[in-house]
Amino acid sequence: MMREEIVFGPIFSRRLGSSLGINLLPEKGKICNFDCIYCECGWNKDGRGDTRLPSAAELEVALEAKLADCRKAGTPIDSITFSGDGEPTLNPDFPEIIGITLRLRDTYYPAAKVSVLTNATMLHMDAVVDALKKVDNPILKLDAATDGLVSVINQPQGHYSVRDVVGNMKKFGGDFVMQTMFLKAPGFDSSAPEQLDAWMDIVRELRPREVMVYTIDRETPAKGLEKFTEAQMRSLVKPLIDEGFKIQIKG
Ligand code: SF4
């Protein structure tokens, strides 16, 4: 599913209410430094037709026009979410774009919450961390606790180290949402005890204010992937729930 506009929606969902989406990636392509086997946007190799990233100035024009239109029409907006065809923090204007978005939000829909879904690979850059700290919900992906399983599920395009990413996540002092996809296929299983235990230890180390656990929902580029039910995921994360962590489970 590709989004062709910088600003799209609002889309209504039970979880987020009326949500405006922002896509900081190319209009007709996907750009990501992961190539997750479950990515809704498909494989990187199939989405390389267009590589031009929208600039901060373009985002400002598009977002202000949309917010002004919605306000005029009386359309509610509960959240503004960065979740495009790829990784938003790869856009070099990302820090500036966050500043613009928060300013426009304050002007047009001060009650709307700004969320960013990111794969957390750019947290070594202070400007990216500072920008993410300013939004209401920085949602940081960590799908597996070992470099081996990350290489299978997320297929990083370059150097990736779970320990480095966990170290960078500590810059948030626990004030972030961690997002983890549970899935399995012949050859690997997120719920295998050695994987699950190591992942739970990372949650204990980072103490995020909330953990979102979810599974496959739509068609995936890789075939043969299996999802978990909500009940299965609840029982997998039960030790953390018992320890008082706030866990949102989406089956
Ligand atoms: S990090 Fe997100 S955009 Fe990138 S490949 Fe994975 S699911 Fe797709």
The residue whose C-alpha atom lies closest to atom 6 belonging to ligand 1 is 36
Pairing mode, strands 113-118 and 184-185: unpaired
pLDDT band at 1 (very low <50, low <70, confident <90, very high): low
Q: Which helix (H) or strand (E) holds 184?
A: strand 184-185
Residue 2 scores a pLDDT above 70 = no
Gap between the Cα atoms of 47 and 29, Å rounded: 4
Q: What's at 194, amino acid-wise?
A: E
What is the CB neighbour count within 10 angstroms for residue 14?
5
d(CA 68, ligand 1 centre) in Å: 31
| pLDDT tens-digit map of 97-121 | 999 999 999 999 999 999 999 999 9
Residue 132 scores a pLDDT above 90 = yes
Which of these, 236, 98, 101, 124, lies nearest to 180 by C-alpha position? 236
Q: Using most ligand atoms within 8 A of CB, pick from 2, 37, 39 the residue to mutate for ligand 1.
A: 39
Select from 2.60.40, 3.40.50, 3.40.720, 3.30.420 the CATH code of 174-251.
3.30.420
Q: Is 196 in the pocket of ligand 1 (CB under 6 A)?
A: no
| pLDDT tens-digit map of 171-197 | 999 999 999 999 999 999 999 999 999
pTM (2 d.p.): 0.96
Residue 81 scores a pLDDT above 70 = yes
Which of these, 97, 1, 102, 87, lies nearest to 42 by C-alpha position? 1
